[in-house]
Amino acid sequence: MGKLDGKVALITGASRGIGQGIAEHFAREGAKVVVSARTLHEGDHKMLAGSLDRTVENIRAAGGEATAVVGDVSLEDDCNRMVEEAKAAYGPVDVLVNNAALNFYIPIVDYPASRWMRAFAVNVHGPFMLSKAVLPDMIERKSGAIVNISSVGAIGPGRGPYPDQGGLGARGGTMYGASKAALERMTQGLAQEVYEHGITVACYSPGVGVATEGTVYFGLSKSLDDPDREPMEMMTNAALLLATEPLDKVTGRVTYSQAILKEFGWIDGGTGLGIDRKGSGYSEI
């Protein structure tokens, strides 16, 4: 018996990286998985390996059930169509994982406004539109879960001083952090709005970056086996936890993968990477 037996899960950004990992993990736990991204076939993306075809193939080869829906989460019509195609394939969505994200590694002084708007459309507007699309069915059934993927960058660099001028903040972290901070605030507000309907809304981040095709390509990870990055299984298990634990224990949470896994006893200890939010302060994992 899997934790998601009989459930339908829609996962965005699932052609590679964290989204692919979550999709494959959810399928192993019994979910009927709908994977969405813009890259359907291997080689369609000019820079990165990975595709929806690959994710679906991996899931089916392991005995799971999955279908691909190509779409752009920045477009409302595409978001609505993703949800409708998921329903046509398997029924109403029980779990939505808003994983798709976009960043351009550009300092603010050089940031084209069109790219800023585009990134916010993917990172914030997409989760809003998809949540809006799945909520009517969840409200009718008095159950469901929306899990948003954030970033440690949402915290911001603080007051300074700022000795590391070549770090992520100078390479696009300002926009990315701002959009993820907005996603976290949306998570908490939506959790409050739909609590009476029995719907979980939660958000989590890796304590540090996860080694994926994207982080390797942009030089944020040394390799897919980078020991300084968070293991993929931390992210996939945290998504499963937030999607399946009782409402009153997890809804409204904005947390970190290792911290929530330790709190619920899903792991004995973390790697020591990252921080967790406790009230208005922070504590080491």
Q: Which residues are catalytic?
A: 150, 176, 180
8-state DSSP, 157: -
Sheet holding 32-37, edge to edge: 65-70, 32-37, 8-12, 95-98, 144-149, 199-205, 254-256
Q: 193-210: b or e for each residue (b if 16 or more CB lie within 10 Å)? A: ebeeeebbbbbbbbbbbb
Question: Can you tell me the distance from the alpha carbon of 73 to that of 58, in angstroms, rounded to the nearest whole number?
Answer: 23
Measured distance CA(167)–CA(154) in Å, rounded: 15
Token pair 């409050």: residue: 192
**Distance in angstroms between the alpha carbons of the first and the last residue of the chain:** 31
Prior bond of 161 cis (ω within 30°): yes
Cα–Cα distance list, 135 to 92, 199, 221 (Å): 10, 9, 36
Cβ(253)–Cβ(150) under 8 Å? no
Q: Counting beta carbons within 10 angstroms of the beta carbon of residue 66, is it exposed (0 to 12), middle (13 to 18) or buried (19 or more)?
A: buried
